[in-house]
Amino acid sequence: MASPFLFSREDLPFLQIRQKTGRRWCSDWDKVLRFEVKGGFAVKGATAQRKRHFRLMAVILICLLVCGGAFGWFYMCLAVPDRLKLIVREEGSFRFPLPSCVTFESESEEVALGNGSNIPEGKLRLQPAAPVRLYGEKKGSYHVGMKLFGVIRMKDIQVEVVDSSFAIPCGLPVGIYMRSDGIMVIGTGEVEDEAGNVVEPCLGILRSGDYIERVNGKKVSGKEELIREVGMADGKTVRLGIRRDGDLKEVELTPVLCQDGSYKMGAWVRDDTQGIGTVTYVDPKGGFGALGHGISDSDTGELVDIEGGELYETQILGIEKGQTGKPGVMSGVIYYGKGTKLGEVKENTAEGIYGTVNQHFLDSIKTDAIPVGFRQDTHKGTAYIRSNVSGEVKDYEIEIQKVDYGSIQKNKGLVLRVVDEELLNLTSGIVQGMSGSPIPQDGKRIGAVTHVFINDPTRGYGIFAENMISH
């Protein structure tokens, strides 16, 4: 039987052995190799330690593989949007940054993969190394499957086949006034009661983002009505009907009598918002889209729930140029009045504000409608911003630097840079108030400006046109 021991005492006559707790070590190898003496022979005690190291490395490697696989899966799913749009009987070409192991399968004969107008019974698979080409035979909503190795289902892509659409790219600045749907709570604060004590009646009862709709069962539509109803309670507990995160609920609080003789709840509230923005487009029915992003409360940062609003004429009085770390801004005056009204605001969404314009606004438009381009029509390179920053509507040259089909934030699918010298001299790039400026490319409206880079005013983000019209 072969001996399991590696060394005998005779093999190490030149090493000094020292005794410690019943075990012996080679003093010259103390820091490298340990020996355990058994039956007159030395065994290599580092073997168990090496096994532990091996197991630890194996666990680390497995964890890295699992994390890498999960990240790869997540990345590939994000690289392809959940929804695509096609013009009926027109081919759309998409380039997705995916490995060749990912395949696509059409699940309907009305949507073909490749160049054909229909596909045979079964499913056609296409490797995404080349552009993925889709063709829609009939209008409707269909599905294309995305699989790993042609077997593992990764996601379903909804393909909407629609008629071509046209809209007028505007680029006109307007004054925007919107009324909140309920009285928005900005936050709570301290008040000084009649005795001089500092109290906070709303603490823990109301919170930022709540909307007050009723006081003691009576509907209130503005700050003045809220103040009046609270005062009429004469210090008694009031019941507030509020909307929180879309849910209706009722809370109670007791206003305090202050030194000026009024009753206060200790809450900061707001019932409207206003500002200057740019109308992106007007469709043939008079519907408009603007901004490319929603209007959020300046204090809470939350999207404002609106009851309605109006568009008004505005005059740009000056432009503060953008600087590194400080975005520029267009400043102006909004003319409120019956004769200066331009339209109605009906929706405030994450992709922009929407409503209808009146004839007064339509009469001010001097450009024609152009086709709406989808994301597959958008590419890197030369495009334009249509804006009225100089006092007249003009197209300024930009460079689209990035097209992100699967951007998590819908209004940041494009990265652009201003290269037009006239616009750079006028604004240093993109300034606040230009949000919503349409982006034409190759004769189609493919998007709109939404944000400026804080550290580089020449660069900014844009939203795909299809995201705005699909709000």
Question: Cα(102)–Cα(96) distance, rounded to whole angstroms?
Answer: 10
The CA-CA-CA angle for residues 24, 25, 31, to 5°, reads 155
Catalytic residue among 108, 435, 437, 451: 435
Catalytic residue among 181, 283, 420, 456: 420
For the question of residue 387 being annotated catalytic, the response is no
Give bridge partners of residue 248 from the DSSP assignment.
Answer: 243
Q: How many helices (H) and strands (E) does the chain have?
A: 5, 36
Which pairing describes strands 328-335 and 431-432: parallel, antiparallel, or unpaired? parallel
The CA-CA-CA angle for residues 392, 395, 399, to 5°, reads 145
For the question of residue 293 being annotated catalytic, the response is yes
Look at residues 201, 185, 193 and name the one whose alpha carbon lies nearest to residue 254: 201
CA 83, 434, 163, 129 torsion-angle sign: negative
For the question of residue 8 being annotated catalytic, the response is no
Catalytic residue among 293, 377, 395, 451: 293
User: To which residue do tokens 């919107």 refer?
Assistant: 178
Question: Cα(432)–Cα(435) distance, rounded to whole angstroms?
Answer: 7
How far from 452 is each of 243, 354, 380, 385, 459, CA to CA, in Å?
33, 22, 18, 13, 6
Burial class (CB in 10 A: 0-12, 13-18, 19+), 213: middle
Would you name the residues annotated as active-site residues? 293, 420, 435
